[in-house]
Amino acid sequence: MSLSSIYLGLGQLLARAISRVRTWHRRKKIITLAVTFLLFTSAYLLLHQLCSLATPRFNLPVEVTQNRRLAGDSVSEIAREVTVRIITNPGSGSGAIVGRRGNTYTVLTNDHVVSGRSDNKYTVLTADGRTHNGQWMRSRQFGDLDLAIVQFNSNQSYQVAEFGDSNNLSIGDEVYAAGYPNWYWVNSNNIEDTRNWGLRAYRLTRGEVGMIADRSLPRGYQLGYT
């Protein structure tokens, strides 16, 4: 709803209310309430527009695919091929190959995986068991989002993930999560560190979309799944 339509509607209601009130004291109360409502409404709409403009936008070197449904077996195969493990000092994390230019591959990962490392050295472990020297490509385009880009060079041929449109998701849609968790829950008394497991730590889980927030949460998170 635009501000002009709000002004027009409020003006009509105000004129009707004032015409039915005879005393100036009551008219003054009606005018005060109307102006207060208008100020709060205007402030809310202005804040909403500013938040929309402040949402960072960025382009990644990937092919965008919309409304594409894949069978479970296809998802499993693709996820294993495009998911990589990023080994740092002293931890590790996961990422997905999202672009290729010549022999240079681009991996999308999380900022918390690569930031704050002691030596700024990154090793990318691909699905074929090979390791590659990775480089964190620092960029301001992500702003405060928990996203980062790592690149590595290889003459091997690796599959590149295709992006869909999250605007097409609905509550209850089937989703998958693939990656290399650093810890493996054996039982209630035993949790194992997987950072030396290599490819054996890979996990693929299936769930459903359980939450789609109207606005991004801190660091850009907006979808919740079970």
Q: Give me the chain's average pLDDT, please.
A: 77
pLDDT in tens, 49-108: 433 333 334 444 433 333 445 555 688 999 999 999 999 887 899 999 999 999 999 999
Which residues 6+ apart lie within 8 Å of 86 measured at CB?
92, 93, 94, 95, 107, 109, 113, 114, 122, 123, 124, 125, 134, 150
Neighbours of 225 (CB within 10 A): 17
Q: How far apart are CA 53 and CA 50, in angstroms?
A: 5
pLDDT in tens, 142-185: 888 999 999 999 999 999 999 888 888 899 999 999 999 999 98
Best CA proximity match to 90, nearest among 52, 49, 63, 122: 122
Q: How far apart are CA 160 and CA 96, in angstroms?
A: 8
- What's the confidence (pLDDT) of residue 29? 56
pLDDT in tens, 30-63: 555 554 444 444 443 433 343 333 333 444 443 3
Q: How far apart are CA 173 and CA 183, in angstroms?
A: 27
Q: Which residue reads 């493996």 in tokens?
A: 184
| Total number of residues shown for the chain | 226
Burial of residue 204, with CB atoms counted within 10 A of its CB: 0-12 exposed, 13-18 middle, 19 or more buried: middle
Q: What is the DSSP string of 51-120?
A: HHHHS-----SS-B--S----HHHHHHHHHHHEEEEE-SS-EEEEEEEEEETTEEEEEE-HHHHTT-SS-
Specify whether the CB–CB gap between 145 and 115 falls below 8 A: no
Reduce the DSSP state of residue 141 to 3 states and report it.
helix
% residues pLDDT > 70 (the chain):
67
What band does 131 get if pLDDT is binned at 50, 70 and 90? Answer: very high
- Is the pLDDT at 16 greater than 80? The verdict is no
Better-predicted residue by pLDDT, 55 or 19: 19
Please give the span between the terminal C-alpha atoms of the chain, in angstroms, as a whole number: 35
pLDDT in tens, 180-200: 999 998 887 899 999 889 999
Best CA proximity match to 166, nearest among 210, 108, 223, 126: 223
